[in-house]
Amino acid sequence: MTSRPNTDNYLDLFLNDIPMMDVRAPIEFNKGSFPHTVNEPLMNDEERHLVGIRYKQQGQDSAIELGNELVCGDTKAKRIEQWLAFTQKHPEGYLYCFRGGLRSRTTQQWLSDAGTEYPLITGGYKAMRRFLIDQLLVSAERKNYRIISGRTGTGKTRLLKRTPNYVDLEGLANHRGSSFGRQLTPQPSQIDFENALSIELLKARHLRTGPVYIEDESRLIGRNAVPQEFRDRSTVSDIVLLEAPLEERIDMVLQDYVIDMTNAYKLHAGEEEGFNLFSEYLLNSVARIQKRLGGEQAQHLQAIMHDALKAQQNNGSLERHKEWIQTLLSKYYDPMYDFQLSKKADRIIFRGDQNSILDWIDQGR
């Protein structure tokens, strides 16, 4: 492998999705990391804990000595083997630790001893995280945003992904943004969400042109909070309003939250257990908004859901699902949305169905 210099060009790393090897301990990696990064630690969590205690009690030299005692022999050989596999798979990549200090240099030296020269990222995770925080502020200030808004079930995400320059907040948060929005896989940590958002905004600024389209979101997408500076900008940005008839919206919700989620749960856990988990997901989604629905309305919806689930399981019929979807849209989501829209109607610059909005965008409006 040709020797390459270390780098502090964080912008290039993130714009080009350069693979990175994080040699911090797993506990550090799980608190915050970056896309296209693999955790191949120099020390595991217990080893790091012990070395940290030694450092506080006896200083750096003693801590290094203990680290070499803990990571030696077969353990050291196995870790070097994993690092070498990464370097061979990603010859264009880099490695880093928390500050680009001792752990990075140790990893780099051990790789060199094994015959491979591999560059590190100066400043490490801390500097890259600081860069992304600062750039998030710049992105919020400099870019022109357009908000895709519309009632539940109009297909805002589908429209979003057909625009020429978009950032999918729900995709980054791995959550659809409503009480029914939970996915089978967990949401990212708040730090991971912020890092991924900042990177996508960098790409929107540097790699694409024109206004950035985002969906109309509340402060929270599941458990992930939209950064305040970015939210402040979105609350004064122009709105493109997506409209669709009720029947079309019912079918959209049916596809997204019944058909697709049933298939996802069955794929995840098998036919019978998957359907049980899907049923639990659906009923719990209503339970989460019970206070806002009112006890009587919530019980009514859950009763319809129970019947719908029974019909779906027995004969594959989905018609009863349309009953609770229509009730939920007309009695809960639509009034709530209409109230919110009334406070920002002056920001609407265009409204229409998906095709008319895309035509309007194509005309360079």
Measuring CA to CA, which residue among 53, 47, 50 is closest to residue 24? 47
DSSP-derived letter for residue 78 is H
Torsion sign, CA atoms 158, 160, 162, 166: negative
81, 89 contact by CB (below 8 A): no
Backbone angles phi, psi at 244, to 5 degrees: -155, 145
Please provide the size of the chain in residues.
365
Report pLDDT for 297. Answer: 83
Backbone angles phi, psi at 22, to 5 degrees: -95, 115
Report pLDDT for 365. Answer: 64
Strands 224-225 and 220-221: antiparallel
DSSP-derived letter for residue 7 is B
Report pLDDT for 67. Answer: 82
For 308-317, the CB contacts below 8 A with 24+ separation are 309/279, 309/282, 312/258, 312/262, 313/275
Q: Give 348's strand partners.
A: 239
Residues whose CB falls within 8 Å of the CB of residue 205, separated by 6 or more in sequence, listed in order: 139, 142, 143
- Grouped pLDDT means (10 residues each) for the chain, 365 residues: 86 98 96 96 92 88 86 93 97 94 92 96 97 95 92 95 96 90 92 97 94 93 93 92 97 95 95 95 88 83 93 94 94 90 93 96 84
Gap between the Cα atoms of 14 and 133, Å rounded: 13
What is the signed CA dihedral for 316, 246, 183, 272, rounded to 10 degrees? -10
133, 199 contact by CB (below 8 A): no
Report pLDDT for 215. Answer: 95
6, 119 contact by CB (below 8 A): yes
Domains along the chain? 10-125 (3.40.250.10), 130-242+340-362 (no CATH), 247-335 (no CATH)
Strands 94-96 and 20-22: parallel
Q: Which helix (H) or strand (E) holds 55?
A: helix 45-58
- For residue 121, the Cα-to-chain-centroid distance in whole angstroms is 24
Gap between the Cα atoms of 173 and 222, Å rounded: 8
Active site residue 97: yes
Measuring CA to CA, which residue among 166, 151, 144 is closest to residue 214? 166
Catalytic option among 23, 25, 71, 97: 97
Gap between the Cα atoms of 268 and 316, Å rounded: 19
Q: What are the DSSP calls for 117-168, one per residue?
A: ---BBTTHHHHHHHHHHHHHHHHHHHS-EEEEEE-TTS-HHHHHTTSSSB--
Measuring CA to CA, which residue among 267, 306, 262 is closest to residue 283? 306
pTM: 0.91
Report pLDDT for 2. Answer: 53
